Amino acid sequence: MEKVVLITGASSGIGLHTAKLFQTKNWKVAATMRVPEKADELKNIVDIACIRLDVTDVDSIKSAIAQTLEKFGRIDAVVNNAGFAVVGPFEAATQEQIERQMQTNVYGLMNVCREILPYFREQRRGTIVNVASMGGRLTFPLYSIYHASKWAVEGFSESLQFEVKDFNIKIKIIEPGPIKTDFYERSMSISKKEGITAYDNFVARAMPNMQKAGETGPDGSVVAQVIYDAVTDDSWKMRYPVNSRAILLLRRLLPDTLFLPIIRRVVLR
């Protein structure tokens, strides 16, 4: 029997690549996004249904799950991919930016998990893939709010696995490093407050180096492949680094007194 995956944030980047990859592997795909009418790359592909889902709107999550079940008859995996980043000095971030960061990356992901868990629990199987980041286990300057959201995803996911394992529900965490997607453009909100100039020199030195990492990274297809592998490997492995294995290993092995100065030198070189 063909399997079904529901993907959030499937209109571009990693989500778009993931939707297309699963379709080539004979999966039915519920490619969800806030504005499905703009899904030009997906709407005419067989076995892909473009469905409205805003992770900050619980009613839209319920509706998307119901539409997927009505169209395809089942859901075997959910990929929580929707997200964005607030970037810049924390002091310059607005309350709206901080709240939107958490509403999307944390509460939105939790909303999707909460709504799909009863279905997975009843059928006693299912896989939830939470796209976190290497930034959920280490940090860079100017990403403090984004890091807070991704560290939350890591902790939430790890704890949730304890709760749902007896129902044969697998929780997978994807930890991408720099990936060449619109994350560094459309999916980024810059914090800058009028009158705060004290950080300008630091931002001018650090931001180009971090932008360059994304510009030279692999595209979202490499993450899509790891997501597919995580869903289909039939294991209880939890964490899947993508273009981040070396730096995550370094973070684990080195004490703060050695690791943090390395990050500072690389970012401010």
Q: How far apart are CA 120 and CA 169, in angstroms?
A: 7
Contact indicator for 80, 230 with CB cutoff of 8 Å: no
Q: How far is CA 31 from CA 81, 134, 178, in A?
A: 11, 25, 24
Mean pLDDT of 77-82: 98
Q: How far apart are CA 159 and CA 178, in angstroms?
A: 26
Where do the structural domains in the chain lie, given as residue ranges? 4-267
Any idea which of 120-124, 130-134, 182-186 has the lowest mean pLDDT? 182-186
Secondary structure (H, E, C), 155-199:
HHHHHHHHHHHHHCEEEEEEEECCCECHHHCCCEEECCCCCCCCC
One-letter amino acid of 71: K
Question: How many C-beta atoms surround the C-beta of residue 48 within 10 A?
Answer: 22
Q: How far apart are CA 268 and CA 198, in angstroms?
A: 16
Any idea which of 5-9, 240-244, 265-269 has the lowest mean pLDDT? 265-269
Q: Does domain 4-267 have CATH number 3.40.50.720?
A: yes
**Model pTM score:** 0.94
Active site residues: 146
Residue 13: is its pLDDT beyond 70?
yes
Mean pLDDT of 186-207: 84
CA 11 to chain CA mean position, Å: 13
Q: Give per-residue pLDDT as tens, 158-172.
A: 999 999 999 999 999
One-letter amino acid of 102: M
Which pLDDT does position 211 carry in this prediction? 85
Instruction: Name the pLDDT band for 244 (thresholds 50, 70, 90).
Output: very high
Q: How far apart are CA 47 and CA 143, in angstroms?
A: 38
Which pLDDT does position 183 carry in this prediction? 55
Question: What percentage of the chain carries pLDDT values higher than 90?
Answer: 87
Q: Give per-residue pLDDT as tens, 30-72.
A: 999 999 998 989 989 999 999 999 999 999 999 999 999 999 9
User: Read out DSSP for 84-96?
Assistant: -EEES-GGG--HH
Which pLDDT does position 184 carry in this prediction? 52
Q: How many residues does the chain have?
A: 269
